[in-house]
Structure 1
């Protein structure tokens, strides 16, 4: 199904002065990180986002693509206000070596996602993108939220969004028949005669890379999927080619090798960015090669979604971006610099140590399961110098991990432990020794099956209410537990069972969108390798919502159609508005019931021409209404419509009436109908007393047998516009049918006929055929459909006929019928 959409992009994106096809010599990672820091702090539009894909446009500009995005200026203290607009995808344009513009949907005052959501509870996150001719093709993944935590969402499928260049004009969003297992578009790579499309499958705590391809460059073409041995036409046969990738990662061909760079996802919440290499795009991949350890995790932040940017990389280097966030959104709001891309660069290919100078492999490695859910590892020490350190590597066999991953910190002792294991999972371990000249070969593998009990219930849980309908919940850490589920119960509303708020890491979470003066109860469950803990002891907090401020910068602008448009500054997500109006010209002393708006704009309709109106607006956060804004005034002014109705037709002619239809640019608007009686010699049109809303009218009280001419004009309070072309019609009375006559004796004859229509009377006409008489009309109209003619001459033959009458005109009489009177 092709889903067309239209959204106003806040950027013309005309070609302008083309940027260089590539910044001279590339750009350093430090410069790019600083570039986004400065743009986020000073642009006043974009202040932070994640995903960070890039694509070169035909005119030389570079388009940076982002998923969840904060818009608006940064506060003086370096925080992002809670009123900051938040959308699910956006773009930033780089021209030369400077960031120039932010691209999103909606308007500057009321921004929306660049790729709008298909439903209220869904959203799109950006995959990778490419240019095909004069079109930008962007793979986007559709999700639905399942909770308030950053980990709470479910994949619904992948779509292809297209934009016309150079103006980034939206063209279409087309769902692709790829299923819900894999989010496609993690990376795109043109290779020979194909475009390679990498994707990510999330299975439990492990993510796996997949590969598809299309012939040529157009992603609208048929896709093929790597099955492990060949290519198949259906996504359900797609095979895993590597474990431990992120939702987004980068793939680049360097010489005759394929390099896949990703945030290390074989471990939960790892700080490492790693590379895998292969001789072909399908693998098998070798690695990991550890490229960078993100320092942001030391402060409790999350690192994720590494990607490559070859268009800006300096010679001999890989240019890598990664994203940083925190599971507690209070932290993300407090520090606007947190939620922005970081860039690093590494030399590539990496130098390889001389194997003769590195330590030998450790021997006699053993792995013993401990009851606390960890593994105790021991090995025989390597007899080398005092600077020797050991590195432990682990592979979760049960989870299907394809490679070993480095765990823990380097150890000087021939012993270590492995934590955060999953109950019943089989693990493999190996150890390497690191000397002054590099890392040696791995030890033989040791295997064990983890025995992990459920964690104890969280302790030290406390809840602190804020002033914006938020409650911060804190708890103490639990050894070997990284994930917690938070539940909430609305005590004031009488809610009996707690509902899941979301899944969180760390030791705090902020719950928002709570109602003023309501008491809420919170419980916490720790999720460990051995399953879920018992719930914590409940804690309660009463939410408080400070009334929002009065909306600022309220403006009122009269429209040509008599409406008045209001706009004001947005007060942030979750805030609605009440719009009050007062008719000053009519002497209205108090405003009427307010109009309700979820966005910072309102179109006041059904106004009186020439009347001056006064408007005020208040903001509502949950059930708390803030003060009124300063009032603004505007006068409603209508201009007569300029459109002319077309295709005026007579669709039905009835008794003394006709039905007209026409086409109009405003089919639901008001129209005036005019008529003139040509038979009566009228030269001027007469306006019907009652205007018509819509494009259909029935005109009554017409003279039957008279020819009329009709015209139509669009109208409003300022008057009528130009008239349409005329049409003509002649309403005629129906002719009665089924006339029958019988002699009743005594010089009488009885007549009957079928009714000709509602509301009609009849005139009976008779002539004495035997006496050669003329037709004469009975002086009394007949209300029914039968009549008795009296005082007739016996033995004479009479003819009768009947005509319908509306009291003014008489229609055509029926065919005569004869009867011999006895």
Structure 2
């Protein structure tokens, strides 16, 4: 599921975005031994939390698909994405913009460039939709032939609540792999029953595309495939026994998957990882296995429970990141949200990816106790079922209850949540649907393990409509929204809130959304209008009668327009605006557009002062500015406009106190310098040892006063310089610093012969993790040097079958051709 909130972007957020992509970087020290490019779950969770807190652009998102790119890069794809930075208290500002999809490139263990559509004055989704009333949520992607092909599902709103949206089709977007430059976006000839792109798996030179079908409260997995590595080609659909060219023939693989889930080949099995969706708002994440991409799938294997559910949040969508998983583990991401938007606005860290690692394959367990027998299941008239069974012999036996909704098409038994019956042999299960046939099974659990499922017992549920919620309370907020609270209703997890505009004479209540729990925040509602608020419980037996109506009247008065602003152009290309105060305690929206175009004012900036510095604007362009005051009731009229031409002056100062420090272990050079008053800098270097005559500019500018330079040759001497840069040009260079990278050739190379015909060479490594080629020769016979065909790592080499009594010499060659000192020994 997704949470879609307002799509008005605030200019203060947009101004932090630079040319469609911002080169920020958040890195995490990842201790993964020799598993280069692999990450722990904790490291990735922390990495995204820090990126959201510090990037100033990407504040949080959901979906979290990953795609391996060339050069060791990873492309992270997201759906609904909030923009900006958290408030001082860690909250998500109400001014945060929202786009429906975006991407971040990870390189060298760092979350780096943030990619989106539109431009800095009006950020937009990375994958747009041609229909204004629709939006795209990201599916999965594939890389082939220098192209990144991204599937996206198009939706339109079907109601006012966070769960109210309807699938309209599937889009395919293409990007160049190197720069992620947008290419064509087109709608695929697919229907609106299945959201394709939950997973794109490469297998046998073709793509297998998994999708999700929503049917009532249940979701089902489907699979299609392509003839070759091209998502834009013809698709075939698995019909249960073979492949069909017609999407309508697509058959269900299994129930209980999320909108997004992961499927990959792991060893000799296909593993499907998903949030447990056979139960509503479950905390469990599970895996199913199969011998074929089309199933049949067996399981579920219970992987982990998301702790965020115990905190009142919801979790959803699992993605499997096999390329980033450490050996013997599955790395799984999932999303966290809360259906009360007040909660997610209070803590920006809620709406960010979480990661979990699980051992795979699962560890086997000792033989458990026998399966319980004598299972019975009886429906009662209150919408519950009573399950009972015979006790199992043994010490410290407890039980787990499993359920399958046969009528809904549920394909596997699912473990019911909570603590279960413990050692009791009876259990009462709730949240059933009227008229549905259910099957129940029970297992016995001891310290030796869990038994097989018992023989099932069936029953048909009889569920009456729930009682109406009681004691509904409403509170008008200062921004036109209304908080609604109501009493709990037994066996009900969802509630639907309605409002009726009495002032406008509205006769039929209008749905404001479906919510779990006992509270919701709806609106904003119309100023000065009296509303009647009612709540309906949505249960397995249908909807309850509406609650007693409660009335509320939001009263909001927009402020007057400010007087004409003053404008001063600044050397960094920004414009400082000032205007007279309208009243204490107001905030202001600042509108900007290019002068003379008469176009849209675009996304406004926001401030609580009577001064505002715009983001740097395009050099030499004339702009028009206007200001509107904002209070809790809305936005007032705009001020008279003022014009100003933006001027960006090239930096005039050179950076000073340039210093360089070599990191021997990584072979990098860290440059630091004193700021020249600019935000961005260019790095220049010259390889003196290689005979370079001119300085070479690094491709990517850096932000701040620190840079780490990679791809340096060991033992080479380099010169570095730094310049400040902005839209107005490049400033003067700093003084040059020179440094020589030390050789990483091994030291203390010694050789010995401990046994007849053998030689052992040991050495001290300067940099761990290097690969060496051992060269040796028979010095007694004057043999030329020869290279052992097998590279070695570490600090030890042993060879056998050498002729005794001869003196052998050994040396180590590094990947760059550097040789170590020679070690000599006489073979025994």
Cα deviation, residue 320, structure 1: 0.2
Contact 2:478 2:633 in 1 (8 A): no
2:270 and 2:237 map into 1 onto residues whose CA distance is 18
Partner in structure 2 of residue 179 of structure 1 = 191
Number of the residue aligned with 2:331: 319
Task: Trace 1:176-325 onto structure 2 (pairs within 5 A).
Answer: 176-325=188-337
User: How far is 1:621 from its partner?
Assistant: 7.7
Q: Which one of the candidate residues 335, 340, 343 is aligned to 1:331?
A: 343
Partner of 1:463: 474
In the TM superposition, residue 23 of structure 1 has moved relative to its aligned partner by 6.7
Structure 1 equivalent of residue 461 of structure 2: 450
Q: Distance in 1 between matches of 2:247 and 2:550?
A: 47
Look up the match of 1:11. Answer: 21
The Cα shift of 1:59 comes to 2.7
| 8 Å contact from structure 1 (residues 64, 91) kept in 2 | yes
Shift in Å at residue 79 of structure 1?
0.6
1: distance between equivalents of 2:49 and 2:385?
A: 42
What secondary structure sits across from 1:242 in the alignment? Answer: coil
Q: 1:53–1:421: structure 2 CA closer, same or farther, 3 Å change rule?
A: same
Aligned partners of 1:626 and 1:512: how far apart in 2? 19
1:599 is matched with which residue? Answer: 603
**Alignment partners' CA distance in 2, 1:630 and 1:77:** 35
Q: Is the 8 A contact 1:14 1:166 kept in 2?
A: no
Report the equivalent of 2:507. 496
Residue 377 of structure 1 is matched in structure 2 by 387
Q: Aligned-pair distance for 1:556?
A: 6.9
CA RMSD after TM alignment:
3.5
| Deviation readout 1:25-82 (Å, 9 max, x if unpaired) | 6110011011111111111111111111011112322111111111101011111011
Does the C-alpha gap of structure 1 residues 548 and 468 become closer, same or farther in structure 2, counting only changes over 3 Å? farther
TM-score if structure 2 supplies the norm length? 0.67
Counterpart of 1:727 in structure 2 is none
Specify the SS of the correspondent of 2:420. Answer: strand
Give me the whole-angstrom Cα distance separating, in 2, the residues matched to 1:168 and 1:211: 28
1:529 aligns with 2:533: no
Deviations 1:783-812 (A, max 9, x none): xxxxxxxxxxxxxxxxxxxxxxxxxxxxxx
Report the secondary structure of 1:311's partner residue: helix
User: Structure 1 residue 165: deviation in Å?
Assistant: 2.7
Q: Name the residue aligned to 2:767.
A: none
Q: Which residue of 1 aligns with 2:766?
A: none
Deviations 1:111-163 (A, max 9, x none): 21111232232100000011121111000000011122221000001111111
Separation (CA, whole Å) in 2 of partners of 1:30 and 1:158: 33
What is the aligned partner in structure 1 of residue 406 from structure 2?
Answer: 397
Aligned equivalents of 1:424, 1:285: Cα separation in 2: 28
Q: CA deviation at 1:492?
A: 2.2
- Within a 5 Å distance, the mapping from 1:281-680 to structure 2 comes to 281-355=293-367, 358-385=368-395, 387-408=396-417, 409-411=419-421, 412-545=423-556, 547=558, 597=601, 599-600=603-604, 615-619=625-629, 624-626=634-636, 632-634=642-644
Question: Contact (CA 8 Å) 2:211, 2:223: kept in 1 or not?
Answer: yes
Distance 1:255 1:248 in 2: 22
Change in Cα spacing, 1:290 to 1:580, as seen in structure 2 (3 Å) is: closer
8 Å contact 1:122–1:143 — kept in the other structure? yes
TM-score of the aligned structures, taking structure 1 as reference length: 0.68
Unaligned runs of 5+ in 1: 1-6, 559-563, 569-574, 584-593, 602-611, 638-822
The one-character-per-residue Cα deviations of 1:744-798 (angstroms, maximum 9, x if unpaired) are: xxxxxxxxxxxxxxxxxxxxxxxxxxxxxxxxxxxxxxxxxxxxxxxxxxxxxxx
When structure 1 is superposed on structure 2, of 138-147 and 503-512 the one drifting more is: 503-512
Tell me if structure 2 keeps the 8 A contact 1:278–1:284.
yes
Tell me the secondary structure at the aligned position of residue 509 of structure 1. strand
Structure 2 residue 56 is matched with structure 1 residue 44: yes
The structural deviation recorded for 1:624 is: 3.7
Gap change, CA 1:406 and 1:277, over 3 Å in 2: same
TM superposition shift of 1:625: 3.5
Matching of residue 80 in structure 1 with residue 89 in structure 2: no
Where 1:410 maps in the other structure, the secondary structure is coil
1:148 aligned counterpart, secondary structure:
coil
Whether the 8 Å contact between 2:22 and 2:115 is mirrored in structure 1 is no
Q: Cα offset for 1:630?
A: 10
Structure 1: distance between partners of 2:311 and 2:566: 45
Pairwise CA distance, 1:634: 2.8
